[in-house]
Structure 1
Amino acid sequence: MNKVWFITGCSTGFGRELAQQTLALGYKVAVASRNTEDVKDIVAAYPETAFAVKLDVTKADEISSSVKQVLEKFGSIDVLVNNAGIGYFGAAEESEEAEFRHMFEVNFFGLVNLTQKVLPVMRKQKNGHIVNIASIAGFFAFPALSFYNATKFAVVGYSESLAKETGHLGIKITIIAPSGFRTDWAGRSAKESSIVIDDYAPTAGANRANLRKASGHQPGDPVKGAAAIIKAVESENPPLHLLLGAAALKNARIKLAELKNDFDTWEATTIGADSPLSE
């Protein structure tokens, strides 16, 4: 187990569970968190193979410093898990610009900026695996999550393109799309718009309430979810897309059926939009 994992957002949820499980398996792990006090127990349990890294993914200097520190400590970065992320609830019209821009900085641009710093390391090594934690909300959109959906759709699009660009370099990409898991995503870590428009009560308003009510009671088990991610990374042919949770699979299949219906129904119109140039 010589591989080095670099995992962001390790204070709670998937990040914490992934750090603990990979360390238990004998991997070397850079355990990143905005506050290293939140992960000191993990590092104390594995003093030889765990390394606490202070990292706020919205800060360019901390991104550069963290990559440098991990390389100085372990000499390589073989698996990067971009897990850090936040939620924000509100209909599109209700959502406050400062809040959703900040969410993009964390969920998308932070992921991109850290990846940009790690890619040269993996290119030089001619191997590596980048695991981007997206969401089923990056494929199937939900009301009250307009801008959260947008951040995760962005992660998926970026990751799919990255996979096509880096495969020949020995760098693998896996996009994780969980449904509801018992992490803190819908709890204290998620913000909610202070604006409430009554017209959206049956759609976004209802889902806002459902998300809060379900927090801590979701069917997804973070322990099993982390184990599934490790299994994918350790496999000879890891998936580009890995759904986690029965609800993720159900909603993905609904979306596929909706797409097929639209494509098939409007096939003639679609093809009719072409006008081949005459020879």
Structure 2
Amino acid sequence: MTDKTVWVITGAGRGLGLDIARAALVAGHAVVATGRDPKKVTAAIGEHDDLLVTTLDVTRPEDAQTAVEAAIGKFGRVDVLVNNAGDFHAGFFEELTPEQIRAQIETLLFGPMNVARAVLPVMRKQRSGLLLTISSTAGISGGMFCTAYAAAKFGIEGWIESLAPEIAPFGIRTMLVEPGFFRTELLTADSTTYAQPAIDDYAERTKETITAWSGMDGKQGGDPAKLAIAIVQLAGLDEPPTRFAAGADAVQTFEAKGKTLLAQAEAHRKLSSSLAHHDA
């Protein structure tokens, strides 16, 4: 049992999840760091008195339940859930298989839902908690080669935005983090699966896109360690932001999407406003 803020972090063995776990520990919090392979998580983070490492494959609801029970058993509560675990299925829609698209949504959308289902009863009982979900600028604005990924991230946005007022009366807050390009491991071979080229019409753009993204790996502008520190700071606010644009490129994405929506609303305002049913 502890009187410290208790964080449960998915995908904590590498990438942003690892940085968030480290930042939370440095800030004096207790951390339940989870991953598919707990040995890799322990090796990455090291030993710490306020650390519990446990197995969690987010696509397995039973894993989520077991991990939350372990957190309660060790620390007595859960204050912050960070839904971070993820991967990337990239490619043109027609070349992505139905199985790849389902796998993407299973991990990025249903996975966080599985963990939230396990945590929310605990937070409701406490009458407090923060559900913090790592989304993406791809959840704000879609883009070529990201049909599966953006579909899952747009789903995250709609789910959390709708869930927020349902759980607010219990003292539970939500926070969506939308990173732009950060120097994580998302574009590495361990995290990214490209669609198998099969349609000649897409061949040239596929080659150009994969070459560009492969060249970007390890050179992205954002520093995940800085983002992790920012996330820990924001999570400590009495009223964390409902959305956080992570990175200058994310701010630009927010601004561009806002302008686009306003322009689209204005483009056919008269027609849009003329569709009411007039009863006799």
TM (normalized to structure 1)? 0.95
Contact persistence 2:13–2:45 (CA under 8 A): no
Q: Which 10-residue stretch deviates more, 30-39 or 189-198?
A: 189-198
CA shift, 1:53, in A, is: 0.9
Corresponding residue for 2:215? 213
Distance 1:139 1:205, change over 3 A: farther
**Partner residue of 2:271?**
269
Tell me the C-alpha RMSD between the 2 structures.
1.5
Percentage identity across aligned positions? 32
Q: After TM superposition, where is structure 1 displaced by more than 4 Å over at least 4 residues in a row?
A: 201-205
Q: Once structures 1 and 2 are overlaid, which stretch shifts more, 56-65 or 70-79?
A: 56-65
Q: How does 1:13-162 map to 2 (within 5 A)?
A: 13-41=15-43, 44-46=46-48, 48-162=49-163
Match in the other structure for 1:255: 257
1:235 and 2:230 aligned: no
Describe the SS at the equivalent of 2:273.
helix
Number of positions where the alignment pairs a residue of Structure 1 with one of Structure 2: 277
Give CA deviations for 1:75-126 in whole Å, capped at 9, x if unaligned.
1110000000110111111111111111111101010011011111000000
Segment drifting more, 74-83 vs 230-239? 230-239
Q: Which runs of 5+ in 2 are unaligned?
A: none
Contact 1:81 1:130 in 2 (8 A): yes
CA–CA distance in 2 between the matches of 1:42 and 1:214? 24
Give distance in 1, aligned partners of 2:16 and 2:207: 27
Structure 1 residue runs of 5 or longer lacking an equivalent are none
Structure 1 residues 217 and 228, CA gap change in structure 2 (3 angstroms): same
Distance 1:201 1:254, change over 3 A: farther
Tell me the equivalent position of 1:5: 7
CA contact (8 A) 2:138 2:150 kept: yes
Q: Which amino acid letter does the alignment assign opposite residue 157 of structure 2?
A: V
Q: Is the 8 A contact 1:92 1:147 kept in 2?
A: yes
Q: Distance in 2 between matches of 1:62 and 1:219?
A: 34
Q: 1:263 to 1:205 in 2, by over 3 A?
A: farther
1:179 matched to 2:184? The reply is no
